[in-house]
Structure 1
Amino acid sequence: MAAQANVADTIKQLNAARNLALADPALYPQVVPGLLRIVGADAILELRRWGADFFAETFASPVLAQEHKQSLGLQVLDTLKAFLERPNEDTAVIKSVVQTAASIYPFIFRQTVTNPQDPSPWQKMAAIKSSILRRMHNAPPGIHICSVKFIQRVVQVQTPGLIADPRRPEQNEVSLALVPRDHPVMSPSTLEAEALGLLDRLLGVLQDNSTDALLVTATLNSLGSLVKSRPSVANKIISTVLNYNPFKLATTTPVSPTHKVMIRSMTRTTTAFLLNIIKKNPNHPLAGRIQQCIERLRHMLIEVFDESSRKRAAPAEPTDGLSEAKRQRLSAQVPQPSSPTSQIPPLPQGPISLAQLFTLTSDQGLRNFDVNVIPSNVVLSIVAPLLKSIDKAKMDAAINAVQVRYLSLAARPVTASSAAQAVTGTGPAQTDEDEDYEPGMESTDQITNNLDQAPPENDRAPVSLGPFNLPPPPPLTAEQTAEYSKGAVNRVFGTLSAMDQSAPSKTHKPGFNRLAAASHDRDAWITIVTRLATRAPAGLDDSKLKSESSSLSKGRFSLNDAVRDSLYLYVVDDFRKRIDVGISWLNEEWYNDRIQKQQNEGAEYIPEHYEKWMLKILDGIVPFLDAKDKLLIRFLSEIPSINQDVLKRVVRLAKDPERVQLAVQALHYLILLRPPAREMALDALEDLYRNYDESRPLVTKIMPKFRPEAFQKLQEAVAA
């Protein structure tokens, strides 16, 4: 008992160390060397199992750095070798050791290539490899499958791969291409021959048409990465898979349910293997054969498992009684069918529903079928042919049966409960809840007396109920209105931000006349948001314009101003990708300002928003423009109006010597392609020439073409 308690405490401490390493992968180089002394080959079975599982998990971890795996792999080689050399070692320990060996094999290979003066790691790895290959075929299925993965890793490492960068060998894939021809420890030809032999051993499972579904599936899954990364052996692998027959079990033994599962698994794995090759490389030289093989496997799978297409066996006796054609030969009488009326079940006792009245079948499936699930157009299309095909005798019998049922129901006394059920269409069935129900504190006798004392139905006065209306909700306060409005604005921009990753619309955009909600894409949302900001207050009269200006001055919440603030932050936050949103918004603002002036010519105050937000966006993006950035030229070319304030900000760019050329190019563009702003741009060029020395060589190439006399006077003034 004491020993078991000590083992439990030790495993508890080991799990704590493992959790620390999982939380911080940088601790693995400290944890693994300390555990080697505890979980070595001389430890008890529980500790050996824990250690082998921990090593397999560690070297398969994607978060552990490659250099740490290489250094730790050198440290665990002796322990792995000792595990394999231990007689009658536990199966779980051997399985984890094989997985660990498959993970560290490339790192030991790279270590030996880069450090040929120390051959001991490669010798230990060779001993581990020989032990695994020697016990592979006689091992349990778990170890056998792990050995298949180990062989795949050996073949991948010992065959030549692609060298991405010869100058950085440490970053290239581990393959035979890294081994120099004159390596003192490794011989490239010997390693490649060994790899090809192991590949043949791996392909032997498919060449022999093995019926072991686990082994075949593991082999096919391991061959997929070899086809992808090793073109030198890819065609050989694909040809072997094309010749593999997963239906050997179906032809040699009676197909049992277990065999069906195995055949289906092997066939689908083979099909998935071939489909992945076609998807990765549709122009593969063997694409035609691969496609034919896939179709063949699918058809054979249908033939083996689809029994519905096979012919049924002949019945042992006539299915519908004795045939009229055989009456004389068999000297027998054909039994007459029973009367249709005798097949109609009687009505149950008690109250019944309208559905039960017309239900003439005893088939429970037909009774529970809901006809409402059939579309009305389908019902109309099938009712007429069905009525034509019904036997007249059966139809008359059904009508008579319903008539008899109706007359018998009419003769029954009607009670209050049965009348209520008849009105609602419910049946007489009662649930346990109905039986347990007690109506308040009144007994059955009291309820009966109350019903007897009630006035006759004819004497009762009609009760008229007026319309029912819900009470109106309480009015919102100003703070609640502002809060809910801000939430709505945030949700709108959250949707717009989520659409930024979608592809831009390539359809034609009809300008200001486009429909904002024509489609649920990014362009539609941009149109909605910009028009919500610009056109929300449109059409107000003079008094409302005055009240709006006064409310703005008092700092009250305004929905369109909140949308404008959010639009500004949205554009400036990533202006290189969202400059189109800013330009579209400014065009809407300019258009709205013009419309407001036309509709409110006599108003004392008409708020204008275009210039304010245009300058604000320009101030937000100018500090982040590069010297070769063309975004400023695009912005100036697409906004609807330019004034002196815009050009002053462009001239200020020349304060940074690196952005002088950007300022001159932007002004030159305006001079050439925006005639309304030409004179202002020429004035800005003169300002540049007068105040910034770095701009004079560039301005000298432009000004003489447009203002030769003014430029000559400017040169004389600057020289003086």
Structure 2
Amino acid sequence: MSATALSIPEQIHQLNDARKLVLSDVKHYPNVVRGIVPVIKGTSALELRRWGADFLAEAFATPALPTGEKETMQPYVMEWLESILNNEKEDIQVLRSVIQTAASIYPLAMRWTINNSYDKTTWDRMMAIKQRILQIWDTSGASVKICCVKFAQRVVLAQSVTSGHEARYGGTLDVSLDKVPPNHQLLSTPSLEAEGMGLLDRMLGVLHESSDALVVDATINCLSILIRTRPGTSSRILNALLSFDPLKLADGPMTSKQKVMVRSMEKTTRMLLIHLSKRDPHNPMVPRIQQHVERMMRAVVDAFDGTGKKRQLEAPVGEAQGVKRQRLIPAEVTIPPLGPGPHSLADVYALTDAAGLKSFDISQVPSPLIAKLAVSTLARIDPQLLDKSIAAVRDRLQALAAAPAPEINANTAPLGVDDDDDDYEPDFFQAEDAEQILNKLDGAPAGSHEQAAVEGALGLKTFNLPQPPQLSPELALTSGNDIVTRVLDMTKTMDEPGSKKGKAGFARLAASSGIRESWLTIVTRLATRSSGGLEGPLIKGEDDPSHTPSLSENIRDVLYSYIMEDFRKHIDISVSWLTEEWYNDKMQSKTGGDQPMHYEECALRLIDGFLPFVHPQDKVLTRFLSELPELNDTILARVKSLCKDPSIVQLALTSLLYLVMMRPPIKELALDTVQDIWTEYEEARPIATKYLTKYRPAFIQAANEGTDNTTAVAT
């Protein structure tokens, strides 16, 4: 079937298979590149062009492919690059990848032209690509400009002279004007050097013309390798950096975005200058670099921290600069007299006639604030004013004490008050409420009920709190979920595992301490043991649509989400949870009945959650399988499914080999899984054969004999 008859997803799938092939063996790169260029031409679908641009950028940038192979590949993609760049309506993502590919190809094309001076077509096409990219540099957005800056850096590296004493390590960056013969037919050394210096000036002009922090940071990051590998450009670059002012956006009020941009540009410039001074500490420019770095840091701090400060005091107009201001003498404070009575205690200590201050309720102010204000006020008060106020209050108290007692009018005096009984102090008892009175009535004679009723009428009325609303199952479930979520959030701020270990084992106390492990043990046991024996039996083939999730199921969901936030960091929590599930299932199976089992379901859910994110060097799978309390065919089948990806085959088989060596009870089951991998996945056979040869040589021998017989029959 032709490629045109295939749909876009099918073509992408075939292209991905080709990419896997070249990643496994780089010698297939030239054939694959020549084969895909007609598929990703300018008239192809956007998805195909994006895939092809990304693949070519990766192919010419990978260090795994030798430089000689890249040189032979670059003539095949020149025409495609030129056609894509000449399309003014091309997709931005495709354009970025094409410019990155051109940046990787430019040194290769120059070295190809140096060694093959007869190939004028390739160099002319490369020149057309360069001119088009330099035109795009002026009119494109920030993301495309960054790629253009990288292309300009490669051009400057290739069209400048390197130092003779510098050790070279090969690669694409070793192309320079030193390699160009004096009488080359296509390359003119003076013209190329002048063009390279012009591009360098254009890059340095970004520091003074652009206000986009992304473009400026990208340009500064590209200057480091130029200084290191092309010493002839170092003085020009260093002068531009020392004259660069990241505070050019700080002329007026700045937004939060502008502040972040200024800080980013200042930090990138500072890090580059510090790196240069550390690389050559004896350079005469080091003191100047240090002064510029300190001045730039201080300017940024003053610009951001001084925005909210008050202006300095300006001298009044018309006054002489040398005339001192006159000292202001505070007005004399007058304390008003107490006046006729009656008086309250607040009136005695009131030193002002202001009605607003007298009516202010000081109890509304928090006590710590009052204490702080009192201490600061007493520390700064004038001692003479304080003595005067104390004397005024003392005089008031003495005047009130010396005043005669008011006469009592016999006609208006309350009953039972004797003129001579001044020392009478009534006893105050707390009034009894109705419940206390009823309790007394239970043991009192019948004749005292009327008296108790009168006493109850004189006491305070009984106050009863309203009955709380009835707790519904849905409300209880929601509250339980919130509590568990808060507990897990709290554990994130506690000590990490390893700082303080608790007692291990099923019999450990969950709340023996307030450390992280104790709280996590409580949550896992709430999920596993809280509903043990209370769940209904399983009925196969039936699904209750009215079933509402229980608290245990919701806690399991919260635990799963918490673990998957960072499964490598929370792998110990997942093992502890599954161990509790396994233990609870064993206890439930001893009680009899068809109780639901959760261990295998939770284990498979966790494996399916983190398996798509493991990488070939990941150790989390091996640790997870080795610490699980029980393994079965279903769990190991998930491990077997990893072999669909050739890059993860080594990890899957290594984890199974660890189980064979360190867990004898599961040895045969793990070997069965390795045997199934050998049978189903041809890419995994070399590694699986090595393991099976040691532990199951009979299977390998029978497989080899079967292969020989099949070959003989076919012959």
Q: Calculate the TM-score normalised by the size of structure 2.
A: 0.45
